[in-house]
A and B are shown apart, each in its own frame.
Chain A
Amino acid sequence: MLTVIFFLSSGLFLGWSLGANDAANIFGTAVATKMIKFKIAAIICSLFVVLGAVVSGAGASHTLGKLGAVNELGGAFIVALTAALTVMWMTRIGLPVSTSQAIVGAIIGWNFFSQTKTDLVPLSKIIGSWIFSPILSAFLAFLLFHLVKKIVERSSIHLFRLDSFTRIGLIIVGAFGAYSLGANNIGNVMGVFINSSPFKDISVSHFFTFTSVQQLFLLGGIAIGVGVFSYSKKVMMTVGSGIFKLSPITAFVVVLASSLTLFLFASQGLHDFLDSHNLPVLPLVPISSSQSVVGAVMGVSLAKGARNLNFQKLGQISLGWITTPIASAILSYIALFFMQNVFLEKVFH
């Protein structure tokens, strides 16, 4: 059991860092502008991240599984650890980074090491989604901004009441955002452990089974929640008052647009619904919540007449698509080598 916990720890660490960093994308502005207290934001965020992870986490994780089925606990440990270290290292040197990109790189590193052929179909789906997600998020933000603006202007609502509604709106979209983050990104944190999961399915009654994957995701979700509570306040203050200065209403639009994007790339139910009605579907792929937020902020900027559009930020995003997976893949390959040859642990079979 101790070995299992030790091996899972790298995933939990990755979950912690995800919670610490990405909760700020959802509640950053609301907390920094004092519209919502940090404690309330943290409780809602953790709760809904866990819920999203357990209920809808399977779809995006499945795609990661198709990319590379890491089949030994030792290998999964290294893959998650190198992803976490890449995230930490790139954050430290100030480069934009996403857990999704780091884990994909690490999995490809494992594929190389275990001489498993990387399936190009899921890989192209994943990379395509990375490029498309900020664009989709910008588009949604653009539309939502105009819609919200129209509603606010037409309704002649009093400033004070608008304030109340904005707070309630920020809490609701925050909860939705946290749910979507959990659903979309839990695969990054726990996905690599699925094939080597030490847990067994638990049947509560004939109708309800708590699968081993859901147990893994619950654990990962809790790790994200711990990250939110222990470290995200600092990041929220930076996001909310640093790079992007958003008003509470624009924050509402940005969070809603980026959450919708995360949700579209995560929800199996929505995917099946669209598919059954012959509508275009998006692949279920873990994407970067930070990049969705950046996309949404750009969308709002465009809607405002492209004032203060930050092209440097766009360049940084595109750079992240390349540098993060490569760095992570190389690190993963080297670490797997050490794990196998120095610590004599099986990393694949």
Chain B
Amino acid sequence: MNSLFPKRSKELESDVDSYLDKVSVAGLVLLDGIKSYLEGKADQFEKNYLEISKIESDADQMRRDIKHRLYTYMLIPESRGDVLGLLETIDDIVDVCEKVLEQFSIENPQIPDFLKGDFLTLAELSSKAVEEVVKGAQAFFRQIEMVSNYVNKVHYYEHKADDIEEQLKRKAFNSDEIKRFSYKVHMRYFAEKIALVSDVSESVCERLSVYAIKRRI
């Protein structure tokens, strides 16, 4: 009856908390990274990229560890599947954040000034979506009735991000300033990549709402 010892659940509790903190930081580093890139601070950008890569591998390790211990301690048999599902989909957010900065680092897109504002707004909205989904996940563990509150916010940011993404693409393809079609496609590609962060956050929220309903007493 390992699970009868509250000390072990306390340890696991703080592990889950640190894991969620990592995810939240990933969202902030993504925003920082894109900001640095847009401002042309190449050194700072590379630092952000390295930081997010480390966060991604640390988070992977933490998730595996939590999963392992959930099973060996035989904790929460009722909602174990849901908790693992939640942690795994949240991990996708970190992966996508890392991939975005990686693509920036590899492909080095040439972003014209008139699109920089939209790219920044898009990054801000995606980062906010990550922040709220993490709060939602924290609420899932501690204050189930608050989950829907955060889920709604994520939906809001995702919707806003969609609008900006569309606006950005229209501007890129209608622009005379961007001469080559391939450059336009490149802008579209990066707009979609950044917006993907908020899309993934939204799909985590879909799961979160269902898990929250299941867990209601």
Chains A and B are bound partners: yes
Residue B76 CB within 8 A of the other chain: yes
Count of residues in B whose CB is under 8 Å from the partner chain: 25
> 1/0 per position for B47-80, CB-CB distance to A under 8 A?
0000000000000000000000000001111110
Question: Residue of B at shortest CB range from A37?
Answer: B1
Segment from B136-144, B153-161, B194-202 that makes contact with A? B136-144
Q: Is the CB of A161 within 8 A of B9?
A: yes
Q: CB-defined interface of B13-46 with A at 8 Å, one 1/0 digit per residue?
A: 1001000000000000000000000000000000
Binary per-residue interface labels of chain A (140-176) against chain B in the complex, 1 for a CB within 8 Å, 0 otherwise: 0000010011001100111111011101100000000
Residues of A contacting B79 in the complex (Cβ-Cβ under 8 angstroms): 159
CA A249 – CA B145 in complex, angstroms? 16
Give Cα A33–Cα B77 distance, bound, in whole angstroms: 7
Which among B3, B5, B13 has the greatest number of chain A C-beta atoms within 10 A? Answer: B3
Q: How far is the CA of A145 from the CA of B215 in the complex (A)?
A: 15
Which residues does chain B contribute within 8 Å of A163, judged by CB atoms?
3, 9, 75-76
CB of B180 within 8 Å of the partner chain = no
Interface presence of A125 (CB below 8 A): no
Q: What's the Cα separation between A213 and B76 when bound, in Å?
A: 44
Chain A residues closer than 8 Å to B141, beta-carbon distance: 158-160
Give the residues in chain A near B1, CB-CB below 8 Å: 36-37, 40, 167
A167–B1 CA distance with the chains assembled, in angstroms: 10
CA distance A153 to B216 in the complex (A): 10
Contact A167/B4 with A152-B217, A247-B217 known, Cβ cut-off 8 Å: yes
Contact of B78 among A33, A40, A148, A160 (CB under 8 A): A33
A159 touches B83 (CB 8 A): yes
> Does A326 touch B at the CB level, under 8 Å?
no
A255 to B215, CA, bound (A): 20
- Tell me the smallest distance from the CB of B11 to a CB of chain A, in Å: 9
B12 CB–A CB distance under 8 Å: yes
With A148-B217, A161-B6 known as contacts, the answer to whether A156 contacts B78 (CB < 8 A) is no
- The answer on a CB contact under 8 Å between B9 and A158 is yes
Interface contact tally, CB-CB below 8 A: 61
Contact-residue size bin, chain A (C-beta under 8 Å from the other chain): 20 to 34
Which residue of A is nearest B16, CB measured? A160
Query: What residues on A are CB-neighbors of B10 within 8 Å?
Result: 160-161
The reply to whether A164 and B3 form a contact with Cβ atoms under 8 Å apart is: yes
Cβ of B217 and Cβ of A164 under 8 Å apart?
no
Give the residue name and chain of the A residue nearest to B10 (CB).
A161
B residues near A160, Cβ cutoff 8 Å: 9-10, 12-13, 16, 75-76, 141
Chain B residues contacting A159 (CB-CB under 8 Å) are 76, 79, 83, 140-142, 215
Expressed in whole angstroms, the Cα–Cα distance for A238 and B210 within the complex equals 27
Task: Tell whether, in the assembled complex, residue B13 and residue A161 are in contact, meaning their CB atoms are under 8 Å apart.
Answer: yes
Q: Which residues of B contact A98 (CB under 8 A)?
A: none
Q: Which of B6, B78, B140, B143 contacts A164 (CB 8 A)?
A: B6
The answer to the question of A66 belonging to the interface, with a C-beta cut-off of 8 Å to chain B, is no
When distances are taken between beta carbons in the complex, the residues of chain B under 8 Å from A158 are 9, 13, 141-142
Is A57 in contact with chain B by the CB < 8 A criterion? no
Residues in chain A near residue B83, CB distance under 8 A: 159
A34 vs B10: C-alpha distance when bound (angstroms): 21
Contact for A149 among B4, B13, B16, B217, CB less than 8 A: B217
What B residues does A157 contact at CB under 8 A?
142
Q: Contact: B4 with A247, CB < 8 Å? A: no
Q: A74 on the interface (CB 8 Å rule)?
A: no
Contact mask B94-135 → A, CB, 8 Å, 1/0? Answer: 000000000000000000000000000000000000000000
10 interchain residue pairs of minimum CB distance: A160-B9, A34-B77, A163-B76, A159-B141, A164-B6, A158-B13, A156-B142, A164-B9, A156-B143, A161-B9
Interface residues of B (CB under 8 A from A): 1, 3-6, 9-10, 12-13, 16, 74-79, 83, 140-145, 215, 217
- Identify 17 new A-B residue pairs, CB closer than 8 A, beyond the known A145-B217, A153-B145, A159-B140: A34-B74, A40-B1, A148-B217, A149-B217, A156-B143, A158-B9, A158-B141, A158-B142, A159-B141, A160-B13, A160-B75, A163-B3, A163-B9, A164-B5, A167-B3, A168-B4, A247-B78
Q: List 28 A-B contacts (CB under 8 A).
A: A33-B77, A34-B77, A35-B77, A35-B78, A36-B1, A40-B1, A145-B217, A148-B217, A149-B217, A153-B143, A153-B144, A153-B145, A156-B143, A157-B142, A158-B13, A159-B142, A159-B215, A160-B10, A160-B13, A160-B76, A160-B141, A161-B9, A161-B13, A163-B3, A163-B9, A167-B3, A249-B217, A250-B217
